[in-house]
A = this chain, B = another copy of it.
Amino acid sequence: MQPTPKRKRVVVIGAGFGGMQAAQSLSKSGADILLIDRNNYNTFVPLLYQVAAAQIEPELIAYPVRTILRRAERTQFLQAEAKCIDFAHQVVETDSGSFPYDYLVIATGSRTQYLGVRGAVENAFALRTLDQAVALRNHILRRLEQASQEPDLLLRKQLLTFVVVGGGPTGVEMAGTLVGLKKAVIKDYPTLSLNELRIVLVQSGDNLLGNLPDRLGRYTVRTLSRLDVTVLFEKRVSRVTSQSIEFQDGSSLPTTTVVWAAGLEAEMPPVTAKPAVARKQKIRVRPTLQLISYDNVYVIGDLAHVQQQEKSLAGVAPEALQQGVMVARNISRQMKGKAPKPFSYFNKGRLAIIGGYSGVGKIGPFLLTGFLPWLMWLSVHLVYLPGFRSRLLVLLSWLHGYGMGDRAIRLILPSSPFVFQDRTLSTNKLLTLAKSTILS
């Protein structure tokens, strides 16, 4: 009897669209898979803006990683923060121990890029994580409560001005859904009137949705204007404070709410030797998605700088999903001694949702505007949302929300700092105790 060859170990860092898909596809490869993420859930990022606008519960777009992996063979999950990747020794160090790998897939995604704008990190709201979405929801609802009690008209106007920076899909979605929120909640605030709430979308260029054909961008501008969103073009932000947003042309707007949807940059865990990067800190990879200097390390999703037909990929979910499948296939090929194949993205089309039952889309050569792409956007995202229960509950929320023009959630959470402070307090106390024990 021959000794069975030792099973290969694959570590995947990041449980977003790319990493999750890679782990699932790899589970049939015969290798031992370890998936690492700092959260125990996968966030369905495309619907984050609906959480921020009180349309759906945060739990509905976050799905436990372990449940997704339930049927995946030889696949383990570890909730941990990757602290360092040692390419030379083939080890991933985390805050919960070190894990050697034969093959590594890095899929840690991207984070908000503030473009060096002063005060943006401190005062603007990002929309990349579930926490951020809930924080933004709390903030917006709190401004409404404050404004409803504010007699000073100028302060009131400042509290009720909501500025979204960035004319890409996220900025457009956020501005559009704020219109719906405005119409829904106004019923509950007898002391506020609809025209007091102002939504401003700030764009550095001269059109919206730069990744889609011009005509769709112009349709989006018209739709948002019809919904009473003020769209400002050719405006570059110079500074964000807790009370205002200031522009490079010297103008400014008094506001206490700035949503930052103006850009992303790749987020890579610390490594022993930093690979070559392209723009937005994205890692340069071979056409096979392998790192240039390491055959057994793959980079996918928002983190990877992938060129196709002279253009870099846009950083959308379908790209990451297809790359997740490809990387699993390539690792399986390598384990069998074959060469990995180059990745090629199959673009099924692009959709963007605006609001007021309108969207835009490009499917093959066809440009779509209006209700059809709006409905398609919702349908596609409903189908891709993980979990039967979440899908059903989101569908019901949409029927309720879009059908009755209402937003059911609207809670300012967490309501009291006491829970967390006490815990922190006790930890601090214990640490103090621990320190004093060490010292004595």
Contact = CB atoms under 8 A, between A and B. Distances in A.
Interface in A78-125: 78-79, 81, 95-97, 121-123
Secondary structure dominating the interface of A: helix
B189 A416 contact: no
Q: Which of A95, A129, A414 is packed against the most chain B CB atoms within 10 Å?
A: A414
A121 B423 CA distance: 10
A130 B413 contact: yes
Contacts of A416: 38, 129, 131
A393 interface: yes
Contacts of A431: 426, 429-430
A415 B95 contact: no
A314 interface: no
A379 interface: no
A97 B434 CA distance: 20
A44 to B, nearest CB: 12
A149 interface: yes
A33 to B, nearest CB: 12
For chain A, give the interface size range: 35 or more
Interface in A338-391: 387-390
Contacts of A426: 122-123, 242, 427, 430-431, 434
Interface string A154-191: 00000000000000000000000000000001011111
A39 B427 CA distance: 19
Contact of A420 (B67, B149, B419, B434): B419
Given A135-B420, A430-B434, A58 B122 contact: no
Given A242-B430, A389-B396, A429-B122, A415 B38 contact: yes
A397 interface: yes
Contacts of A430: 242, 426, 430-431, 434
Nearest to A420: B419
Contacts of A191: 76
14 contacts: A39-B412, A40-B412, A57-B57, A66-B189, A76-B190, A78-B149, A95-B425, A122-B425, A129-B416, A130-B414, A131-B413, A388-B400, A392-B396, A429-B431
Given A40-B141, A64-B188, A426-B427, 14 more contacts: A38-B415, A38-B417, A40-B145, A40-B411, A57-B59, A58-B413, A59-B409, A59-B413, A64-B411, A129-B415, A130-B411, A131-B418, A392-B396, A423-B424
